[in-house]
């Protein structure tokens, strides 16, 4: 075989390789490059979805914790409110002067145990005699001229005690205010 012929054969082989390579570039490489772009877009979208879902999860967990704390803190609100009339009735019964000493003791025990139960659950009495009138906790049902030495806006009488559960008003105190 002459050197020329050998070269030609090599050239033919090279041309065949060149054709295959050309095909890869034009069809497949462009396809693959498109796929990369598409995959990057999908990945970015999925990452967004994940981040949003993760943030939402943390929000739900936080809200649920706060809600639980509030529910626990004020859990006794409904029953406590419904018990207040019983306390009023007890006080009225104890105000009756002609009462057997045993009955009075029994009533005072009931009153004390009810008050203790409420106190343990966070219920606080509002009985603002001689305090400054506070429209957030007191309801003025009467106004009287201030006596000497009494500042105006002073609560001079409590008609009916109020109650709050922690800082939440169950019912305001009904009061008479000096004006």
> Residue 1 or residue 72: which is nearer to a second copy going by CB?
72
Calpha distance 150→33 (Å, rounded): 89
Pairing assessment for the beta strands 173-178 and 138-144 based on DSSP bridges: parallel
Number of residues located near a second copy, criterion CB under 8 A: 62
Helices marked H in 95-157:
101-120
Site string for a second copy, 80-99 (x = CB under 8 A): x-xx-xx--xx-xx--x-xx
- Should residue 154 be labelled a site residue for a second copy when binding is judged by CB under 8 A? no
Pairwise CA distance, residues 67 & 65, whole Å: 5
- What is the smallest separation between the CB atom of 138 and a second copy, expressed in angstroms? 24
First to last CA, the chain: 130
* Near a second copy by CB under 8 A: residue from 8, 16, 103, 144: 103
Collapse the DSSP code of 159 into the 3-class scheme (helix H, G, I; strand E, B; otherwise coil) and give the result: strand
Distance in angstroms (rounded) separating the CA atoms of residues 179 and 177 = 6
Residues that bind a second copy (CB under 8 A): 14, 17-18, 21-22, 24-25, 28-29, 32-33, 35-36, 39-40, 42-43, 46-47, 49-50, 53-54, 56-57, 60-61, 64, 67-68, 71-72, 75-76, 78-80, 82-83, 85-86, 89-90, 92-93, 96, 98-100, 102-103, 106-107, 109-110, 113-114, 116-118, 120-121
């Amino acid at each position: 075989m002459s050197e020329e012929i050998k070269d030609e054969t090599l050239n033919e082989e090279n041309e065949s390789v060149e054709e295959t390579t050309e095909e890869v570039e034009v069809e497949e490489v462009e396809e693959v490059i498109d796929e990369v772009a598409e995959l990057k877009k999908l990945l970015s979208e999925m990452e967004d979805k994940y981040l949003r879902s993760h943030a939402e999860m943390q929000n739900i967990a936080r809200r649920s914790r706060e809600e639980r704390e509030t529910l626990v803190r004020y859990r006794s609100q409904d029953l406590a409110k419904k018990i207040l009339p019983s306390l009023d009735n007890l006080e009225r019964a104890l105000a009756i002067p002609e009462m057997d000493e045993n009955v009075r003791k029994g009533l005072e025990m009931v009153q004390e145990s009810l008050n203790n139960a409420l106190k343990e659950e966070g219920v606080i009495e509002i009985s603002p005699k001689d305090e400054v009138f506070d429209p957030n906790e007191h309801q003025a049902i009467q106004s009287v001229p201030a006596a000497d030495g009494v500042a105006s806006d002073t609560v001079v009488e409590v008609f009916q005690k109020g109650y709050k559960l922690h800082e939440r008003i169950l019912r305001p105190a009904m009061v008479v205010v000096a004006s």
